[in-house]
Amino acid sequence: MSGFLSLPDTGARYEALGIPVRIRAGGGDTGGALDVVEVEFPPGIPFPAHRHHNSDEAFYVLEGEIMATIGDSVTRVGVGTFAFAPRGIVHGFANESTAPARVLAWQSPSPGMVGFLEALAALTRDGEPDMEQIMSVLQRFDVEPVG
């Protein structure tokens, strides 16, 4: 592996259940060390509480405000906030404001975010996916919804 550079506005972009996500670095770029994504949370759109059993996740708020769940704590956070959720710890995000929010998130080791986002995007290409289809994709990529 010789290293990897991700320039602004580069990387595949996906629409994952109403949330625009850009791959900043995938597992293929990092030798499986991590995945890094830039997530745009439109107002009113959550990524509900969940946990991973095989990877740690961290995030940094680039723009706007989100409600962040880390363990039992739910806190409104803004630009410059960093959070870390080790594997097994519940975490989630919701934009309850009227303005978009942007978050840089990474998981280590790479759970295969490119495959995860491609699978979610494929579900919505054929209309509205049912919960069984969504749950199947979540399970395949180590995302366990909580609550």
- Nearest-Å Rg of the Cα atoms of the chain is 15
pLDDT digits (tens, 9 = 90+) for 12-33: 999 888 889 999 999 999 999 9
pLDDT digits (tens, 9 = 90+) for 33-74: 999 999 999 999 888 899 999 999 999 999 999 999 999 999
For the cut 80, the answer to whether the pLDDT of residue 1 exceeds it is no
Domains of the chain: 16-111 (2.60.120.10)
pLDDT digits (tens, 9 = 90+) for 66-109: 999 999 999 999 999 999 999 999 999 999 999 999 999 999 99
Among residues of the chain, what percentage have pLDDT more than 70?
99
**Which of 42, 41, 79 shows the shortest CA–CA distance to 62?**
79
